[in-house]
Amino acid sequence: MNFHRSEELFRRALARIAGGVNSPSRSYAAVGGGAPAFIARGEGAYLYDADGNRYIDYLAAYGAMILGHAHPKVVKAVQEAVTRGSVYGAPTEAEVRMAEAIHEAIPQMELVRFTASGTEAVMTALRVARGYTGREKILKFDGAYHGHSDPVLVSAGSGSSTLGIDESLGVPRGVAQDVISIPYNDTEKLEEAFSRHGNEIACALLEPVTGNFGIVEPTREFMEAVHRLARAHGSLVIWDEVITAFRFQYGSIGQYFGLEADLYTLGKVIGGGLPIGAYGGRKEVMSVVAPLGGVYQDGTLSGNPVSMAAGLACLEALREDPGLYSRLDRLAAMLAQGMQEAAHRHGITLSIGRFKGALSPFFLPRPASHFAEAEQAPSGHLARFFRLLLERGIMTAPSKYEAWFISAAHTERDIEITLEAVDDAFRQMAAEGYR
Ligand X SMILES: Cc1ncc(COP(=O)(O)O)c(C=O)c1O
Binding mask 30-69 for ligand X (x = CB under 6 A): --------------------------------x-------
Active site residue 48: no
Cβ-Cβ contacts under 8 Å for 380 (sequence gap 6 or more): 434
Which residues between 240 and 259 bind ligand X (CB under 6 A)?
240, 242-243
CB nearer to ligand X: pick between 226 and 415: 226
Name the closest residue to ligand X (Cβ): 118
Q: Least distance (Å) from ligand X to the CB of residue 369? A: 18
Angle at CA of residue 212, ends 210 and 184, nearest 5°: 50
Active site residue 268: yes
Q: Annotate 169-204 with b (16+ C-beta within 10 A) or e (fewer).
A: eebeeebbebbbbbbbbbeebbeebbeebbebbbbb
Q: Which of 137, 140, 268, 356 is catalytic?
A: 268
CB nearer to ligand X: pick between 87 and 417: 87
Q: Which of 108, 325, 370 is nearest to 219 (CA)?
A: 370
Q: Least distance (Å) from ligand X to the CB of residue 403? A: 9
Task: Give the orientation angle of helix 187-197 with respect to helix 220-232, to 10 degrees.
Answer: 10
Q: Is 335 in the site for ligand X (CB under 6 A)?
A: no
Question: Rounded to 10 degrees, what is the CA torsion of 392, 393, 395, 398?
Answer: 40
Q: Least distance (Å) from ligand X to the CB of residue 368? A: 17
Query: Which residues are bridge partners to 277 per DSSP?
Result: 115, 267
Whether 353 contacts 368, CB under 8 Å: yes
Which residues between 115 and 134 bind ligand X (CB under 6 A)?
117-119, 122
CB nearer to ligand X: pick between 328 and 343: 328
CB nearer to ligand X: pick between 101 and 122: 122
CB nearer to ligand X: pick between 183 and 293: 183
Active site residue 186: no
Query: Which residues are bridge partners to 315 per DSSP?
Result: none
Cβ-Cβ contacts under 8 Å for 212 (sequence gap 6 or more): 143, 144, 145, 157, 158, 243, 401, 402
Q: Least distance (Å) from ligand X to the CB of residue 156? A: 10
Binding mask 266-295 for ligand X (x = CB under 6 A): -x---------x------------------
- Identify the residue among 95, 142, 186, 207 touching ligand X (CB under 6 A): 207
Whether 203 contacts 144, CB under 8 Å: no
Active site residues: 145, 240, 268
Q: Which residues bind ligand X (CB under 6 A)?
A: 62, 117-119, 122, 145-147, 207, 211-212, 240, 242-243, 267, 277
